[in-house]
Structure 1
Amino acid sequence: MQSIRTAKFGIGKVVRHRTFGFRGVIFDVDPVYDNTEEWWQSIPEDVRPHKDQPFYHLLAENDEEEYVAYVSEQNLVEDSSGEPITHPQLDDVFFEDEDGALVARDIYLQ
């Protein structure tokens, strides 16, 4: 039986891609890879992550654009810059609590 690891990052956590440097906030977590085989094969083999790790759905952004990203745990690090995320969908999915943490709106937890 396959062992499933516990996700290192939770929903609402701001992270940065280890290689490409884009930032994002996590809005969903898959315990293992759960995307298409076509998407998987499109990743160059020498940088293709293992499927048996958590994968994160991010409201992501870089200097040019905002988008949704799907990223393996091995490619993410905690973002400690303190810079705000400005993704246009952020307020649809999260609200900021009194401590400044991003909390998922109830509609996204069902």
Structure 2
Amino acid sequence: MEPRRAKFAIGQVVRHRVFPFRGVIFDVDPEFANSEEWWLSIPPNVRPHKDQPFYHLLAENQESSYVAYVSEQNLLPDDSGEPVAHPQAAVLFETFHGDHYTLRPRISH
């Protein structure tokens, strides 16, 4: 079976459907690509299916900033219009446009 196309994009600001945090997407896995231990640590009644896109977020809540790994089914677009205050956002992204960020140009050789 072919992986589903991602609903959200790198640079998009999103919020969690259940828990009180939001963040900016910096990477996408077409399907679950974390450890089995991590997946099994999620309570079975809220454990997402593995056959969907999973997103890496520079996330924030009222207390802290962190990196989160979230299934597509648990994300919604964030319509606050506010930038994400994660300290790494300025490293990866150049500008904020109300609901998404523009990636910085990559430096490579």
Q: Could you state the TM-score of these two structures normalised by the residue count of structure 1?
A: 0.91
Counterpart of 1:57 in structure 2 is: 56
The answer to which structure has the higher helix fraction is 1
1:36 aligns with 2:35: yes
Percent identical = 64
SS at match of 1:74: helix
Unaligned runs of 5+ in 2: none
The amino acid that maps onto 2:4 is: R
Q: How does 1:42-81 map to 2 (within 5 A)?
A: 42-81=41-80
Cα deviation for residue 63 of structure 1 reads 0.5
Q: How does 1:1-110 map to 2 (within 5 A)?
A: 2-96=1-95, 99=97, 101-107=100-106
Q: Could you state the TM-score of these two structures normalised by the residue count of structure 2?
A: 0.92
Distance 1:38 1:106 in 2: 35
Unaligned runs of 5+ in 1: none
Cα deviation for residue 105 of structure 1 reads 1.9
The amino acid that maps onto 1:85 is: V
RMSD: 1.4
The amino acid that maps onto 1:91 is: A
The amino acid that maps onto 2:93 is: F
The amino acid that maps onto 1:62 is: N
